[in-house]
Structure 1
Amino acid sequence: MNNQDPIADMLTRIRNATRVGRRFVQVPRSKICLGIAQVLKDEGYVEDYDSVDDEQQGQIRIKLKYATNGQKVIQTIDRTSKPGCRVYRSVKDLPSILNGMGICVISTSKGVMSDRRAREQNVGGELLCTIS
């Protein structure tokens, strides 16, 4: 599969898997997707992830997280910056998602991080996606 936007593909796979209640989802491995998976784990939106080697580029296996009553932890997951229309924000212009209940994933010069960490490190960057 030749996908032009691996981030949108990853988010769509996670969205679809949570919609049907899957425990795991696999996405093609790339540096940016590994960074997003790490942010999702650090912020408590997924339980864990690991890399799986295959004959092509490899996969990331993500263990999705659900509440004890079976409710989804990830309610919405949306792509902000797209290949045709990039969205950049300085640290003072970073949006607050649901008054701090959600996060933005940002690609900065210091790596992929949540909006909270970007504020701590005082860096802005490309707004990849929002999760709540």
Structure 2
Amino acid sequence: MNTDPIADYLTRVRNAIKANHRVVEIPASNLKKEITKVLFDKGYIANYKFIEEGPQGSIKIALKYHPISKVPAIRTLTRVSKPGLRKYASVDNLPRVLNGLGIAILSTSKGVMSDKEAAVQNVGGEVLCYIY
């Protein structure tokens, strides 16, 4: 039994990038699906596909690399809020990742979104991870 499924999700993506894989398959959950949608909308992954088979299903993520230099679009994935220590941010003090070049993914009352979308919608929430 995995105690932190979000950390497992981020670790699988991180390991796939380090091994230069094109596709990574991850067990699905609703929160992981929403994080995947945010990553796609912000341009960090090339594509994704939700596979509904079995009791849980899975997510196939096509990772994005620069066509010439083969540098991955995701350089760093960092888990912020952990099960042992949750981190929350109000709309007044949303985190700035890499001085605005990266994104923070937040779980808010209006759904999972990036820090910039949360500022526009005027909501705070749990800071799940930083990506740049």
Paired AA for residue 97 in structure 1: V
Structure-2 separation of matches of 1:50 and 1:99: 31
Residue 61 of structure 1: how far off its partner (Å): 0.5
TM-score normalised to the size of structure 1?
Answer: 0.96
| Corresponding residue of 1:92 | 92
Are residue 72 (structure 1) and residue 72 (structure 2) matched?
yes
Q: SS at the partner of 1:41?
A: helix
Structure-2 separation of matches of 1:37 and 1:92: 26
- After superposition, what is the alpha-carbon deviation per residue over 1:63-102, rounded to whole angstroms, capped at 9, x for unaligned? 1101112101100001000011000000111111111110
Q: SS at the partner of 1:38?
A: helix
1:8-19 counterparts in 2 under 5 A? Answer: 8-19=7-18
Paired AA for residue 87 in structure 2: V
| Corresponding residue of 2:23 | 24
TM-score normalised to the size of structure 2?
Answer: 0.96
Are residue 47 (structure 1) and residue 46 (structure 2) matched?
yes
Residue 56 of structure 1: how far off its partner (Å): 3.3
Cα RMSD over matched residues? Answer: 0.8
Residue 54 of structure 1: how far off its partner (Å): 2.9
Paired AA for residue 124 in structure 2: G
Residue 55 of structure 1: how far off its partner (Å): 2.3
- After superposition, what is the alpha-carbon deviation per residue over 1:34-72, rounded to whole angstroms, capped at 9, x for unaligned? 010000001100011111123230001111101112101
Query: How many residues align structurally?
Result: 131
Paired AA for residue 5 in structure 2: P
Q: SS at the partner of 1:61?
A: strand
Q: SS at the partner of 2:8?
A: helix
Structure-2 separation of matches of 1:108 and 1:34: 15
Q: SS at the partner of 2:49?
A: strand
Identity fraction in percent: 51
Structure 1 residue runs without a partner (length 5+): none
Structure 2 residue runs without a partner (length 5+): none
Structure-1 separation of matches of 2:81 and 2:71: 28
Runs of 4+ off more than 3 Å? none
